[in-house]
């Protein structure tokens, strides 16, 4: 939230979130403005036709949040985003189309410091218009809560280098521990850092739930796979959980685990307003694997993961949550910690170590005859 917005909130006066709309189409700007302004908590601060004009308008209008089209002539979305983050850092929600190219560019935008993105409604997006509008309004208001420190972390986090050659990944058997990782706003960048830190030789299987719509999780899985010693891919119904492998829940589907570690996908109603839901996957894993489950809750708005963490704890498993100081949005981890379900609270660079310590401790207990 901007300094002025924070000051207003501090004096008990909640002023609307001021939004600068960046799009090369005048018609699109008008449509977006009407949809956002329908929420009394949002106010349109102004407009810009491209990234270059956006930089000028930010200096003049000091908006709390920008919405910016990924695809624009002239100074396109990515180029504009780079300039904005270098010259006048402001929370940005990117507007993306559902294409393979659009998904890749959107993930690049998140790497460059965008807080979140919104998939434009189209024939490929089955969500009703009212639902889509509510989602955009929520994302804009959530972005306004990203502090200047959190935004700075998004910009200063060292870029993780992709591997030059893939590591050797032998086929391994059933894992001894299951790690379920949940994330939302700020998650793609946090996942990139975490998955790059995890070793590929431990007897651990991973399930990842990132709040993301259909069409984007496949691209995210590919990007994570290129960073990690683990094999990471978008889950397909019937996949079997194995060591040194991570399965990412596909957008629009809940992921659960059946007998024998077989992955199941469904499109049952959203839980906590989202699908996939962290709660669904964690609870399912806890029922099947009991104390062998470690839950990890990273940055994100809302409380998804709290009930899942409770289920893990009830079965004797353990939970790690990201510390506020490294979160883009300290919502999901805070909810778990406040509920008393966190065994460890760690900054992002130390979460991989915390996971491995828990895995090793459980293995030592099992070797000593104390396993479940």
Specify whether 211 is located in the same domain as 317: yes
Which residue range is the domain that position 96 belongs to?
3-156
Look at residues 204, 252, 210, 208 and name the one whose alpha carbon lies nearest to residue 232.
208
Specify whether 93 is located in the same domain as 219: no
In a domain, 172, yes or no: no
The model's pTM is 0.88
Name the more confident of 146 and 99: 146
Q: Give the lowest-confidence range in 39-43, 87-91, 121-125, 178-182.
A: 121-125
Give buried/exposed letters for 181-195 (b at 16+ CB in 10 A, else e).
bbbbbbbbbbbbbbb
Specify whether 56 is located in the same domain as 150: yes
Specify whether 210 is located in the same domain as 72: no
Which residues are known to be catalytic? Answer: 184, 211, 304
Specify whether 276 is located in the same domain as 145: no
In a domain, 168, yes or no: no
Specify whether 202 is located in the same domain as 267: yes
In a domain, 162, yes or no: no
DSSP 181: E
Residue 230: Cβ-neighbour burial (10 angstroms; 0-12, 13-18, 19+): buried
- CATH (domain of 350): 3.40.50.180
**pLDDT score of 7 more than 50:** no
Write out pLDDT tens, residues 215-242: 899 999 999 999 999 999 999 999 999 9
Take residue 366 and report the two structure tokens written for it. Answer: 């099992």
What share of the chain in percent tops pLDDT 70?
85
Confidence (pLDDT) at 6? 44
Specify whether 214 is located in the same domain as 126: no
């Amino acid at each position: 939230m901007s300094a002025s917005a924070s000051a207003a909130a501090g004096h008990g006066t909640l002023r609307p979130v001021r939004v600068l709309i960046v799009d090369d189409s005048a018609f699109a700007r008008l449509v977006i403005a009407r949809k956002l302004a329908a929420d009394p908590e949002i106010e349109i601060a102004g407009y810009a036709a491209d990234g270059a004009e956006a930089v000028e308008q930010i200096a003049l209008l000091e908006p709390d949040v920008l919405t910016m089209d990924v695809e624009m002539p002239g100074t396109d979305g990515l180029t504009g985003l780079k300039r904005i983050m270098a010259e006048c850092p402001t929370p940005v929600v990117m507007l993306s189309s559902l294409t393979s190219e659009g998904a890749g560019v959107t993930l690049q935008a998140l790497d460059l410091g965008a807080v979140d993105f919104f998939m434009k409604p189209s024939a490929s997006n089955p969500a009703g218009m009212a639902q889509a509008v509510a989602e955009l309004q929520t994302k804009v208001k959530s972005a306004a809560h990203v502090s200047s420190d959190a935004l700075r972390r998004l910009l200063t986090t060292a870029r993780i280098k992709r591997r030059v050659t893939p590591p050797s990944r032998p086929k391994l058997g059933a894992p001894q521990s299951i790690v379920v990782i949940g994330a939302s706003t700020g998650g793609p960048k946090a996942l990139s850092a975490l998955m790059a830190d995890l070793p590929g030789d431990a007897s651990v299987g991973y399930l990842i739930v990132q709040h993301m719509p259909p069409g984007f999780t496949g691209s995210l899985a590919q990007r994570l796979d290129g960073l990690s010693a683990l094999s990471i891919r978008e889950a397909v119904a019937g996949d079997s959980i194995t060591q040194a492998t991570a399965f990412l829940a596909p957008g629009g589907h809940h992921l659960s685990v059946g007998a024998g570690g077989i992955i199941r996908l469904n499109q049952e109603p959203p839980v906590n307003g989202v699908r996939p839901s962290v709660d669904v996957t964690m609870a399912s894993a806890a029922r099947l694997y009991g104390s062998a489950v470690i839950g990890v809750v990273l940055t994100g708005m809302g409380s998804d993961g709290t009930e899942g963490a409770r289920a893990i704890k009830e079965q004797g498993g353990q939970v790690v949550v990201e510390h506020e100081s490294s979160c883009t949005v300290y919502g999901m981890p805070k909810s778990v910690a406040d509920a008393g379900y966190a065994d460890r609270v760690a900054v992002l660079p130390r979460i991989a170590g915390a996971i491995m310590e828990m895995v090793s401790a459980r293995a030592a207990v099992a070797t000593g005859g104390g396993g479940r």
